[in-house]
Structure 1
């Protein structure tokens, strides 16, 4: 079963979503027209109003993916009528900011005009979040606003995930130990010497100079937390280098299991969810919806009790008290929504060293098109002959665009929908 199709009245008032079969009949009969292709929405041509039922939007916020589900009350019970997984681009934003910071530092270090550092003359507003986390909040607010304009949504339910980073590492932590933390009274190196019995974790050497070693190399995303640190002698440290520990110890499975048993779960994603949970709740409330907040434990209990598989949109459907009995059609397909951004602000590209490359961009749109627009390419000649529909991957000032690896002139393109900062694709049916 696919998601239901959003329906608007002739006055653009949201009505109850209908099944895809019903939408096809209305389109073929000329009683409706396509209003938006992604997510698919039709507009009735002769009907200005209609009866609606309250729909609840449910959200399962995550560090990388947020589950979204629309649930309505039918005679057969509470039913999911539309669902999606929203993939955030926080890591891409973080990488872009890291590159920009490196370029700026490089420019200041070269023999160029003096640029005073600006890290001490900026103030942050209350509730400030890093751009990579703010993007998650903005994505949820934008999608909630879009859904509110296309369906009669009356309320919202948000899972407020409460992560305790110390408790995640040590579930038995309590009392004074909880208040002081696991490193109270220790330097990091002394803590590691005590934890690893002053021996090399890889070869077991003792009474030799030991070095602090990252279990997951920093070049592969490893952190500096003590849960990712161990001790190694210099020969072992140099042999391991930036290899994954599984590859380095593939001939020593017992040693690998012992080290992994002492390693702690990385808490980067938990920290991201922890930092944004209240901001997402306030963002949903800001669109004017009565909002309730629920725990992740209740969501899991509802999902497991009903026998549903683990997925973000399924977790969203099971959020809250009403999620204890919710019907999900067998084989239902959820929409995959990927945040892509709305283009770059800079007008000129640069090479990997930060030096300008190419010519400055004169306009964001060329012949009425811009990167990310949904378009239809009709080509009659060459290897690209045929009809192709998709998002424009690149535009050029000379008037040639790239769509699905086809590089063709602008005259062969027809605009279907303006870019809105998201890419939409259908998921595979969920297991029943």
Structure 2
């Protein structure tokens, strides 16, 4: 992976290769500024004396994972510098808020001091998003600003919509004409394919032509609403015909119950992306950089034309106008939003009663959960060196989450601080189809000179 470089005043300059960063550190011309993602700070040069090339940060927003790619633009294409997978925690936030609401509701219902519910004193401002959705926007923008702080990014690209065929045919289309045109049927089919897993709802066949199926036949008063539509192969569609679905699946009650439940279940991932895409675009425009908004259709076209694997980060590479891609075989840094802990001091059971108590102090022996440490164990059953995310215990016997496993019972005396907790967990995705020929960049980043030295106190 490319190494982020800052000048002696903390201003970003062009990223460099791992080999060049190693030489700068060995010769004493740079200091370690940050470990993950790896960044160095020059001590003998300022940004005024450095040459710059156009850099673009590309985003592929998703409900669970957002792909980011830092690329360098040149005549005829782009060269990939860094790949990131940003994993959100929207689901955990939603579940935590639900648990809190249940606990408060139960507290009001028990034989305790009554506290009346307060609902009329809250007003939602314009543009309000649910906390689980707002988290996706805030986390994405946080990393956009971080990367812009570490590199001289000149432009941004983001995927805004999946397909917009009508706008290509008639840019002036709007209103009812937009909703009832070509795009309506096309996106409806894509929505149904995603919702039903691209397989027949009656026999689970995959890889065969699928047809739009009316669960309640139109001949019996059924509508064309998405809540009444599914997908089925031609034999199953003809076999069901206009019969009621309960009569058709009389001998398979489990499948009938599953289909009726799936009909009422919305496509939550698509809803989450649709609810946040315009907010994210406006936040990106507020950065003052040039923003390119593209469609998912173009992203898929670029990926298929360039024969790139399907990953979140490489989807980000293919966003927008891409003629050619170089140096895309790189490891991907997976960034998982973990949060910074909670104010709640107890764990609750399903009835809302405490089942365990947490520590009052977050710091134990100078460490806290989320710190990245290097543990060199010299005796006992766990002899070896481990690098990963720390989970502290009051006893001083910690757990270390490495890229593959959790190592339990590591004494604090064996741990050396690498990077303080910042609310994210880091690991490298070394897929063989992507990292072939890229070298073991993960081990290289963790073994650069100065890695064991004290990390710079400069703001990262």
Q: Deviations over 1:279-304 (max 9, x none)?
A: 11122233342323222223233333
What secondary structure, in the 3-state scheme, does the structure 2 residue paired with 1:352 have? coil
List runs of 5+ in structure 2 lacking aligned partners. 165-178, 189-213, 232-243, 401-405, 437-460
| TM-score in terms of structure 2 length | 0.71
Question: Which residue of the partner structure matches residue 157 of structure 1?
Answer: 157
Is structure 2 residue 9 aligned with structure 1 residue 11?
Answer: yes
Question: Which residue of the partner structure matches residue 99 of structure 2?
Answer: 99
1:244 positional shift: 6.3
In structure 2, C-alpha distance between the alignment counterparts of 1:172 and 1:37, rounded to whole Å? 43
Checking the alignment, whether the CA contact within 8 Å between 1:55 and 1:152 is kept in structure 2 is yes
Q: Deviations over 1:96-151 (max 9, x none)?
A: 22222222222222222212223443211111111111111011111111101111
Checking the alignment, whether the CA contact within 8 Å between 2:76 and 2:323 is kept in structure 1 is no
Q: Deviations over 1:229-265 (max 9, x none)?
A: 99537x95995299867xxxxxxxxxxxxx9xx9799
1:75 positional shift: 6.5
CA RMSD of aligned residues (A): 3.6
Question: Which residue of the partner structure matches residue 200 of structure 2?
Answer: none
1:18 positional shift: 1.1
1:117-132 matches, cutoff 5 A: 117-132=117-132
Checking the alignment, whether the CA contact within 8 Å between 2:4 and 2:14 is kept in structure 1 is yes
Correspondence for 1:402 among 399, 402, 409: 399
Question: Which residue of the partner structure matches residue 240 of structure 1?
Answer: 254
Checking the alignment, whether the CA contact within 8 Å between 1:317 and 1:326 is kept in structure 2 is no
In structure 2, C-alpha distance between the alignment counterparts of 1:424 and 1:359, rounded to whole Å? 28
Question: Which residue of the partner structure matches residue 329 of structure 2?
Answer: 331
Question: Which residue of the partner structure matches residue 61 of structure 1?
Answer: 61
In structure 1, C-alpha distance between the alignment counterparts of 2:87 and 2:266, rounded to whole Å? 20
In structure 1, C-alpha distance between the alignment counterparts of 2:187 and 2:44, rounded to whole Å? 65
Question: Which residue of the partner structure matches residue 46 of structure 1?
Answer: 44
Q: Give the direction of change, closer, same or farther, for the CA distance of 1:362–1:172 in structure 2 (3 Å limit).
A: closer
Question: Which residue of the partner structure matches residue 374 of structure 2?
Answer: 376
What secondary structure, in the 3-state scheme, does the structure 2 residue paired with 1:313 have? helix
Checking the alignment, whether the CA contact within 8 Å between 2:246 and 2:256 is kept in structure 1 is no
1:267 positional shift: 2.6
In structure 2, C-alpha distance between the alignment counterparts of 1:64 and 1:359, rounded to whole Å? 30
Q: Give the direction of change, closer, same or farther, for the CA distance of 1:237–1:126 in structure 2 (3 Å limit).
A: farther
What secondary structure, in the 3-state scheme, does the structure 1 residue paired with 2:100 have? helix
| TM-score in terms of structure 1 length | 0.75
List runs of 5+ in structure 1 lacking aligned partners. 174-190, 199-223, 246-258
In structure 1, C-alpha distance between the alignment counterparts of 2:219 and 2:2, rounded to whole Å? 56
In structure 1, C-alpha distance between the alignment counterparts of 2:339 and 2:61, rounded to whole Å? 19
Question: Which residue of the partner structure matches residue 293 of structure 2?
Answer: 293
In structure 1, C-alpha distance between the alignment counterparts of 2:304 and 2:382, rounded to whole Å? 49
1:69 positional shift: 1.1
Aligned length: 371
- Which deviates more, 37-46 or 27-36? 27-36
Checking the alignment, whether the CA contact within 8 Å between 1:6 and 1:42 is kept in structure 2 is yes
Q: Deviations over 1:48-98 (max 9, x none)?
A: 332222311111111222111112134774211111121212122222222
In structure 2, C-alpha distance between the alignment counterparts of 1:107 and 1:124, rounded to whole Å? 25
1:169 positional shift: 8.2
